[in-house]
Chain A
Amino acid sequence: MANVPDNLHYSKDHEWVRVENGVAVIGITDHAQEQLGDVVYVELPKPGESFSAHESFGSVESVKAVSEIFTPVSGEIAEVNESLADEPEKVNKDPYGDGWMIKVKMGTPGEVDSLLTAAEYEDFTKAEE
């Protein structure tokens, strides 16, 4: 059973958001990493790049699949998890912690309110199956 922590916001593209002082920390959910399998590579943007909500900011690769990843909120990339270059398996082992991908300085902080709650995301994934 995939883990869906209560304190996070979720998107229908299977990303999670944790807000820390106006900065959105973003990664992919446990459900997503389960579906993908062993992550071998994560393509990430550079700090300073800007994205609008639901725009693709990179991709996650497993051995046999590649998925685009979309930022649930708009803003400028403040920080990128460089350690994923050497240890992409962090995305599998700790998707909500060490496997975080980008930190976004939010342009419109209210955007998170239109994302899914943990319960809503759980329902959403169940419906998808």
Chain B
Amino acid sequence: MRYIPNSPDERAEMLQQIGVGSMENLFDSIPADLRLRRELNVPNALSELELLKKFDVTAARNPAANRISFLGAGAYSHYVPTIVDSLISRSEFFTAYTPYQPEISQGTLQAIFEFQTLVCQLTGMDMANASMYDGSTAMAEAVLMAERVTRRSKVIASSAIHPEYLEVAHTYVQHAGIELQHSTHSNETGTTLADSLAGLDDKTAAVVVQSPNFFGCIEDVQALADKAHAVGALLIVVVTEAMSFGLLKSPGACGADIVVAEGQSFGVPLSFGGPYVGLFATREKYARQIPGRLVGEAYDAMGRRGFVLTLATREQHIRREKATSNICTNEGLIALAATVYLETMGPRGIEAVAKQCAQKAHYAARKISTMDGFSLPFSAPFFNEFVVRAPSEAGALLARLASEKGIDGGIALSRYDRKPNEFLVCVTETNTREQIDELVSGIESLSH
């Protein structure tokens, strides 16, 4: 096996040297009746050539991968500059271990420190961790953190949050003694109205809201923050389309106490749902309650500046069952990809991409809403995602759009038990005018 450096002969010699009779004898401490008497029932080894062929054939059965796409809802198609993959493919980055030995991990540690800084800048918060698994688990961990900080057990989450994120939060809190309630959203604006946060009282640990929300609508975060703070609750803001940080006021500037986000928009391929990267940021006063790894500045005896994993006493390997989280491995390399992306694009680049997303999305929305029978049901401003109400069943329309026109026009909200005639459209800087026009004419021809 070419990945095993020692040849069979060398291995035989080694066995002899240590006085073990055979390879089988290495496993003498395993009771005989537990040892497999047969080979594993998996295929025989494939050569590189055969392996690549097999995966190419399999990949070809994913026609959705190279279609014109307007799919969003938590995963976004943005252009990734070439140097991102090139740099994260450096083996010093991707084959490196967690930086527990700082003297020989300064590359990883410095990159994480930059990542933490960038997350603070984008979210408008004081401090950020080295990453969570994704936006959905980051949100769940934020809920757990709010309970720790406030010692209160009720959390109100907006019904306009991504349904899969809400599901994950429910899974995480089910044994944590936390009551997770949903608030409603307005069917007119598509947003969470501050006045309708039913159940908000002095037993509430946090209000959780997504902005732009699952319907693409921009929430009035400041108003919700004020409501939450008035009863001593925290405001947790969730962002699934991180590119929105380029254009919208930061959640930190709107009064958020914890900001969590999905960072996939920053230089991370869609890859059928993962690996992605969760961003987690908060106020300095909550530093000891934050989950996940933290990298801090440190100096050696000669006054040389370096970076090191710090405040580790919050974490599982020290505090064990009293830890702020059980998280150990996070999304290091993906956080690095996001870091390279953000540093390559810079503030002007992020702004420019965000502006193009907004302009193109509004262009698409305008054209679609002028079609007979089609409307935009929600009145709130949106960034790059919006809901369309069709005159007929959205699922069927989108299926025909895909098979007959080769376009993935959006996501039917019936997928998430919502209105069958509605679908969510996402437009990014990667969608050209031609593509948008094709989408519109495609919908048009299939509806009339």
* Contact of A65 with B288 in the complex, beta carbons under 8 Å: no
Interface residues of A in 45-79 (CB under 8 A from B): 61-66
CB of A35 to closest CB in B, whole Å = 15
Question: Number of A interface residues, CB 8 Å?
Answer: 9
Please indicate the chain B residues that have their CB under 8 angstroms from the CB of A43 in the complex: 288
**Is B178 an interface position by the 8 A CB rule?**
no
Kindly state the separation between the CA atoms of A118 and B318 in the bound complex, as whole angstroms: 31
Task: Check A66/B288 contact, CB under 8 A, given A41-B313, A61-B313.
Answer: no
User: Size class of B's contact patch?
Assistant: under 10
Tell me the interface secondary structure of chain B in the complex.
helix
* A-B Cβ contacts below 8 A, count: 16
Kindly state the separation between the CA atoms of A86 and B312 in the bound complex, as whole angstroms: 19
* Contact of A41 with B318 in the complex, beta carbons under 8 Å: no
Kindly state the separation between the CA atoms of A66 and B319 in the bound complex, as whole angstroms: 7
Shortest Cβ distance from A59 into B: residue: B313
Kindly state the separation between the CA atoms of A43 and B314 in the bound complex, as whole angstroms: 12
Kindly state the separation between the CA atoms of A63 and B318 in the bound complex, as whole angstroms: 10
Shortest Cβ distance from B308 into A: residue: A63
CB of B395 to closest CB in A, whole Å = 53
Please indicate the chain A residues that have their CB under 8 angstroms from the CB of B313 in the complex: 40-41, 61-66
* Contact of B288 with A64 in the complex, beta carbons under 8 Å: no
Please indicate the chain B residues that have their CB under 8 angstroms from the CB of A40 in the complex: 313
Interchain residue pairs with CB less than 8 A apart (16): A40-B313, A41-B288, A41-B313, A43-B288, A61-B313, A62-B313, A63-B312, A63-B313, A64-B312, A64-B313, A64-B318, A65-B313, A65-B318, A66-B313, A66-B318, A66-B319
Lowest 9 A-B CB distances belong to which pairs?
A61-B313, A66-B313, A66-B319, A66-B318, A65-B318, A64-B318, A64-B312, A65-B313, A63-B312
- Taking A61-B313, A66-B313 as known contacts, 14 extra A-B pairs with beta carbons closer than 8 A to each other, sorted by chain A number, are A40-B313, A41-B288, A41-B313, A43-B288, A62-B313, A63-B312, A63-B313, A64-B312, A64-B313, A64-B318, A65-B313, A65-B318, A66-B318, A66-B319
